[in-house]
Amino acid sequence: MHHTHLVVETRQIDPVEDLLAYADPARPLAWLRRGDGIVAVGEPFAEIRPTAEPGQTRLEALATFWRGLSAQADVTDPLGLPGTGLVAFGAFTFDPSSTADSVLTIPSRVLGRHGDRFWETRIRLAEDTARPTALETRPYGPHWAGTVGPGAQSPQGYQDAVRAALERIADGELSKVVLARDLRGTVPAGSDLRRLVRALATGYPDTWAFAVDGLIGASPETLVTVQDRTVTARVLAGTIGRGADADADTAASTHLASSVKDLDEHQYAVQSVLTELRPHTRALAASEQPFLLKLPNLFHLATDVEGELEEGRSTLDLVRALHPTAAVAGTPTAAAVSAIRDLEPFDRGRYAGPVGWVDADGNGEWAIALRCAQFTATGGAIAVTAYAGAGIVAGSDPESELLETRVKFRPLVDALA
């Protein structure tokens, strides 16, 4: 049995114009942001789809598995950049009770880029001494278009769900719940899904563009990152819409920065993140004052949290501790998750769950799977389900929340068309 450990070799290579051109057209595995990132080449080395043991979540099972595998691996990595060495891509369900599966995929070969440096990593069993085949691009398949229409939650049903949520909020059961709706449809059999990943990566360079086990999207929301064992997380809580002109914009930002209610909500969110991360980190600190983060349509109060990863921990432990956040479930979280189970007529699957990668040292980058769709090969046409949600609070208007989901669907629906 002693030969079954992994041998992992990373080497620097000449620049590659398009990482995605080397990926599998039917099952791309990719993580990209501003041109940097990692893409799997060829068949995966392994896919782990855990079933939870009693008293243990699937995520705990994965963290334990990854820790054991990493400890046994023989890694040669002269570059030490984000995404070099032994890596696995992951996509996990939003709700632990989901019927969909969480997956950790270990590629057999990876191409990566960080700034002007490029690399190839090979992951194999110690006894597998076969020479690797030459790296070859796979030409992009023809353009394709998908059609999506209302899913399990119709536009009318969505507005009714928002009204039901508002009643629960009025009863004091919870102060915020994020409700989603779905669009379902198909894309033609044999479609080259790399086209969608490429469109999202180039169209939305500031998001995390991802493709993991048929889950493809471009997320604006980071969950947590670890590099050189430094943990960073950004807390966004407290929001106001941007003004129609410069004066209104200034007024909105000033209002948010001085709103006691929003500052209180923000501090509460910061404290809860510190509490969740503390068992897995050392020297954890948050800036004293939140800053204003300006997005195209919103201002957020934001705080950056930083610490050092505790020995023997990995980003998977942090992901487990932080998920689900108030940003994708609501406040208080447990009440919000229970309201989502009651009010959404579908299983979210991996929508709003953690998606990202982890390496042998516990480093990694994880986002929340938003602005995304799940593609499932059915033998014929490829089934696709897209999701979008909106945060419901007291005073929310069902019609404007429906419109907000429409805006959030747009990047994906446009790219599908």
The predicted-structure confidence for 188-221, as pLDDT tens digits, reads as follows 999 999 999 999 999 999 899 999 999 999 998 8
Give the mean model confidence (pLDDT) for residues 140-159. Answer: 95
CB 309 within 8 A of CB 280: yes
CB atoms within 10 A of CB 40: 29
How far is the C-alpha of 277 from the C-alpha of 275, rounded, in Å? 6
The one-letter amino acid code at 107 reads P
**Helices of type H across 8-137:** 58-72
DSSP state, residue 207: S
Q: For all residues of the chain together, what is the average pLDDT?
A: 93
Place of tokens 């389900």: 385
Q: Closest Cα partner for 215 from 320, 123, 105?
A: 105
Q: From 319, 397, 267, select the one nearest 91 (Cα to Cα).
A: 319
Given the residues 120, 176, 265, 344, the one annotated as active site:
176
Most confident stretch, 50-54, 294-298, 355-359, 392-396 = 355-359
Instruction: Count Cβ neighbours within 10 Å for each residue of 245-255 and write b for 16 or more, e otherwise.
Output: eeeeeeebbee
Helix H or strand E encompassing 407:
helix 398-416
Q: How many CB atoms lie within 10 A of CB 417?
A: 9
C-alpha pair distances (Å), 17 with each of 80, 84, 179: 22, 18, 40
3-state SS track over 360-404? CCCCEEEEECCCEEEEEECCCCEEEEEEEEEEEECCCCHHHHHHH
Query: Which residues partner with 357 through β-bridges?
Result: 89, 365
Sign (positive/negative) of CA torsion 348, 362, 366, 112? negative
In the chain, the percentage of residues whose pLDDT exceeds 90 is 75
Exposure letters 132-148 (e unless 16+ CB within 10 A, then b): eeeeeeeeeeeebebeb
**Dist. CA 5–CA 127, nearest whole Å:** 9
* Residue 261 among the catalytic residues: no
- For residue 3, what pLDDT band results from cuts at 50, 70 and 90? low
Decide if 221 is catalytic.
yes
What tokens were used for 351?
């929508």
Q: Is the pTM of this model over 0.85?
A: yes
- 280: pLDDT confidence band, cut at 50, 70 and 90? very high
For residues 365-391, give the mean pLDDT.
94
For residue 259, the model assigns a pLDDT of: 86
Rounded CA gap, 350 and 35, in Å? 25
The one catalytic residue among 9, 173, 221, 306? 221
Which strand (E) or helix (H) includes residue 16?
none
CA-based R_g, the chain, Å: 21
What does the block give as tokens for 81? 């950049």
According to DSSP H, which parts of 204-245 are helical? Answer: none
Q: What is the pLDDT of residue 1?
A: 42
**Banded model confidence at residue 53, pLDDT cuts 50, 70, 90:** low
Instruction: List own/partner pairs for 401-410 with CB under 8 A and 24 or more apart.
Output: 401/158, 401/159, 401/162, 401/179, 402/155, 402/158, 402/159, 402/162, 402/181, 405/158, 405/180, 405/181, 407/297, 408/370, 408/371, 409/183
